[in-house]
Structure 1
Amino acid sequence: MKTDANVVHLTKVASEHPPTSPVGRLPVALIQVRDKAAVQLKQALQALFDNADDTLFEMADRATSNAEQNAFFEAMRDLRLKRKSIERGFLQNVFEAFATLNQYEIGRPAPLDAVSYDSLSLVQNDELEESVAQDAMVAKVMSRDSLSLGHLTTRLNAMVSKKLDDKSNPLGPAALVGFFLQACSSLGVEIRVKLIILKLFEKYVLGDVGQLYADANQALVQAGVLPELKSTPPRRANVRAPAGRSPGETASAQEAFGGELGDEGVREVFGALQALLSQARGSVVPQRDVPADAMPITSNDLMRLLSHMQQRAPVQVSDDFDLREQLEQLLSRASAKSGKARVVGEVDEDVINLVSMLFEFILDDRTLPDSLKALIGRLQIPMLKVAVLDKTFFSRGSHPARRLLNEIASAALGWGDQDEAQRDSLYLKIEQVVQRLLNDFVDDPTIFSELLADFLAFTGDERRRSELLEQRTRDAEEGSARAELARREVEHALNERLLGRTLPEVVVRLLQDAWSKVLMLCCLKHGVNSPEWEAALATMDDLVWSVEPHEDPQSRMRLLELVPGLLKSLREGMASAAFDPFSTGEFFNQLEVLHVQAFQRFKRVVPEAEKAPANDEQIATDADELSLPLLELPPVEEELDMPAMVEVVEEIVLVAPGESRSPEPETVLPDDDEAVLQVDNLRVGSWVEFQEDEEHKLRCKLAAIIKPTGKYIFVNRTGMKVLEKTRMGLAVEFRRNAIRLLDDALLFDRALESVIGNLRRIKGA
Structure 2
Amino acid sequence: MKTDANVVRLNKATAELSPTSPVGRLPVALIQVRDNAAQRLKLALQALFDNADDTLFDMADRATSNGEQNAFFEAMRDLRLKRKNIEQGFLRNVLASFAALNQYEIGKTRPLEALSFDSLSLVQNDELEESVAIEVMVAKVMNRASMALGHLTTRLNAMVSKKLDDKSNPLGPAVLCEQFLEACSSLGVEIRVKLIILKLFEKYVLADLDQLYAEANQALIAAGVLPELKSAPLPRNPGRSAARARAGGAESSQQLDDGELMDEGVQEVFGALQELLSQARGSVAPRRSAPSADARPISSGDLMRLLSHMQQRAPAQVSDDFDLREQLEQLLSRASAKSGKARVVGEVDEDVINLVSMLFEFILDDRTLPDSLKALIGRLQIPMLKVAVLDKTFFSRGSHPARRLLNEIASAALGWGEQDDTQRDSLYQKIDSVVQRLLNDFVDDPLIFSELLAEFLAFSGDERRRSELLEQRTRDAEEGSAKAELARRQVEQALNERLLGKKLPEVVVRLLQEGWSKVLMLSCLKHGAESVQWQAALATMDDLIWSVAPHDDPQARVRLLELVPGLLKALREGMAGAAFDPFVSSTFFNQLEALHVQAFQRFKRDMADAEKPAASDTEAQQYAALAEAEIELPILELPPAEEPEAPAMVEVVEEIVLLAPGESREAEVCLADDDEALLRVDNLRVGSWVEFQEDEEHKLRCKLAAVIKPTGKFIFVNRTGMKVLEKTRMGLAVEFRRNAIRLLDDALLFDRALESVIGNLRRLKGV
TM-score, reference length from structure 2: 0.67
Residue aligning to 1:645 = 649
Aligned residue for 2:415, secondary structure, equals: coil
Distance 1:607 1:255, change over 3 A: farther
State the one-letter code of the partner of 1:679.
V
AA aligned to 2:765 is K
Query: What is the distance in 2 between the residues matched to 1:507 and 1:425?
Result: 58
> Identity over the aligned pairs, expressed in percent?
75
| Alignment match, 1:465 | 466
**How far is 1:28 from its partner?**
11
SS in 2 for 1:690: strand
Q: 1:44 to 1:292 in 2, by over 3 A?
A: farther
Matches within 5 A, 1:351-366: 351-366=352-367
Distance 1:463-1:586 versus aligned 2 partners, 3 A rule: same
Residue pair 1:385, 1:443 contacting (<8 A) in 2 also: yes
**Which residue is equivalent to 1:716?**
718
Counterpart in the other structure of 1:592: 593
Query: Partners of 2:373 and 2:741 in 1: how far apart?
Result: 21
**In structure 2, distance between residues paired with 1:624 and 1:254:** 113
> For residue 697 of structure 1, what is the aligned residue in structure 2?
699
Q: Measure how far apart 1:552 and its partner are.
A: 2.4
The whole-number CA distance in structure 1 between the counterparts of 2:158 and 2:304 is 41
- Mapped to 2, the partners of 1:357 and 1:61 lie a distance apart of 37
Tell me if the contact between 1:700 and 1:714 (Cα under 8 Å) persists in the aligned partners.
yes
Aligned-pair CA distance for 1:295: 1.6
C-alpha distance after superposition, 1:464-515 (max 9, x if no partner): 2222222222222222222222111111111111112222211111111100
Partner residue in 1 for 2:344: 343
Cα distance in 2 for partners of 1:422, 1:30 equals: 64
Residue 345 of structure 1 and its aligned partner are, at CA, apart by: 1.4
Q: CA RMSD in A?
A: 3.8
Distance 2:448 2:90 in 1: 41
Q: Amino acid of the residue matched to residue 274 of structure 1?
A: Q
* Equivalent position amino acid for 1:424 in 2: D
Task: Extract unaligned runs of 5+ from structure 2.
Answer: 20-87, 97-106, 117-154, 163-221, 227-234, 254-259
Tell me which residue corresponds to 1:94: none
* Residues 370-519 of structure 1: pairs in structure 2 closer than 5 A: 370-418=371-419, 424-519=425-520
| Structure with bigger RCO (C-alpha 8 Å, 6+ apart) | 2
SS in 2 for 1:41: coil
Tell me if structure 2 keeps the 8 A contact 1:526–1:533: yes
Residue from 663, 671, 687 that aligns with 1:659 = 663
Tell me if the contact between 2:487 and 2:525 (Cα under 8 Å) persists in the aligned partners: yes
Whole-Å separation in 2 of the counterparts to 1:297 and 1:625: 114
What secondary structure, in the 3-state scheme, does the structure 2 residue paired with 1:283 have?
helix
Contact 1:254 1:261 survives alignment (8 Å): no
For residues 515 and 737 of structure 1, what CA distance do their matches in structure 2 show?
45
Contact 1:467 1:719 in 2 (8 A): yes
Asked if structure 1 preserves the Cα contact closer than 8 Å seen for 2:689 and 2:702, the reply is yes
Question: Structure 1 residue 405: deviation in Å?
Answer: 0.7
CA shift, 1:659, in A, is: 2.7
Native 8 Å contact 2:9 2:15 kept in 1 = no
Q: 1:651 to 1:40 in 2, by over 3 A?
A: same
Note the C-alpha offset of 1:607: 4.1
| Deviation digits for residues 351-386 of structure 1 (CA, Å, limit 9, x no counterpart) | 111111111111111111112111111110000011
Residue 267 (str. 1) matches residue 267 (str. 2): yes
Give the aligned length: 563
Task: Say whether the 8 Å CA contact 1:148–1:231 is kept in structure 2.
Answer: no
Q: Partner residue of 1:286?
A: 286
2:532 — aligned with what? 531
Offset of 1:261 from its aligned partner?
Answer: 9.2
Aligned to 1:549, the other structure's residue is in SS state coil
Q: Structure 1 residues 565, 349: closer, same or farther in 2, change over 3 A?
A: same
CA contact (8 A) 1:505 1:645 kept: yes
Q: Report the Cα offset of residue 421 of structure 1.
A: 6.9
Give the counterpart of 2:742 among 740, 743, 751.
740
Contact 1:249/1:261, CA 8 A, preserved across alignment: no
In structure 2, the CA distance between the partners of 1:541 and 1:249, relative to structure 1 (3 Å rule), is farther
Q: Is the 8 A contact 1:689 1:741 kept in 2?
A: yes
Using the alignment, how far apart are the partners of 1:281 and 1:381 within structure 2?
21
SS, match of residue 445 in structure 2: coil
Identify if the C-alpha distance between structure 1 residues 61 and 557 changes in structure 2 by more than 3 Å, giving closer, same or farther.
farther
Distance 1:555 1:649 in 2: 28
Match of 2:23 in 1: none
Change (3 A) 1:255 1:406: farther
**Deviation digits for residues 304-347 of structure 1 (CA, Å, limit 9, x no counterpart):** 00000111111111111111111111211222222221111121
- By how many angstroms is 1:742 displaced? 0.8
Residues 158 and 225 in structure 2, CA contact (< 8 A), matched pair in contact too: no
1:40 aligned to 2:41? no
Cα separation, 2, equivalents of 1:536 and 1:261? 82
The 2-side partners of 1:433 and 1:278 are apart by 34
Deviation at 1:29, TM superposition (A): 4.5
Q: Deviations over 1:517-576 (max 9, x none)?
A: 101111111111111111100000011111112232322222122111111111111111
**Change in CA separation of 1:424 and 1:604 when aligned onto 2, cut-off 3 Å:** same
Letter in 2 for 1:41: S
Deviations 1:551-609, CA, capped at 9 Å, x for gaps: 32322222122111111111111111000111111111222222222222222223444
* Matched AA of 2:471: E
Is the contact made by 2:370 and 2:416 (CA closer than 8 Å) also made in structure 1?
A: yes
C-alpha separation in 2, matches of 1:681 and 1:248 = 44
1:622 aligned to 2:619?
Answer: yes
Partner Cα separation in structure 1 for residue 112 and residue 558 of structure 2 = 61
Q: Shift of the alpha carbon at 1:624?
A: 3.6
Deviates more, 1:749-758 or 1:449-458: 449-458
Deviations 1:739-763 (A, max 9, x none): 1111111100100111111112222
CA contact (8 A) 1:704 1:712 kept: yes
- CA distance change for structure 1 residues 511 and 625 in 2, over 3 Å: closer, same or farther? closer
Report the Cα offset of residue 47 of structure 1. Answer: 6.3
Aligned counterpart, 1:20: none
- 1:30 Cα deviation (Å)? 7.6
Q: CA deviation at 1:680?
A: 1.4
SS in 2 for 1:40: coil
Report the secondary structure of 1:551's partner residue.
coil
- Look up the SS of the partner of 1:695 in the other structure: coil
Change (3 A) 1:752 1:499: same
Distance 2:407 2:566 in 1: 70
The normalised TM-score by structure 1 is 0.67
Find the structure with the greater CA-based Rg: 1
Q: Report the counterpart of residue 583 of structure 1 in structure 2.
A: 584
Deviations 1:240-262 (A, max 9, x none): xxxxx9x9789999998999796
Once residues 549 and 419 of structure 1 are traced to their aligned partners in structure 2, the CA distance between those partners, rounded to angstroms, is: 66
Q: 1:47 to 1:512 in 2, by over 3 A?
A: farther
C-alpha distance 509-440 of structure 1, shift in aligned 2 (>3 A): same
Measured against aligned partners, the alpha-carbon deviations of 1:67-103 in whole angstroms (never above 9, x if no partner) come to xxxxxxxxxxxxxxxxxxxxxxxxxxxxxxxxxxxxx
| Maintained 8 Å contact 2:317/2:379 | yes
Offset of 1:264 from its aligned partner?
A: 2.3
Aligned residue for 1:282, secondary structure, equals: helix
> Please, which of 662, 682, 685 is the counterpart of residue 683 of structure 1?
685
What SS is found at the alignment partner of 2:739? coil
Measure, in 2, the Cα distance between the counterparts of 1:510 and 1:421. 54
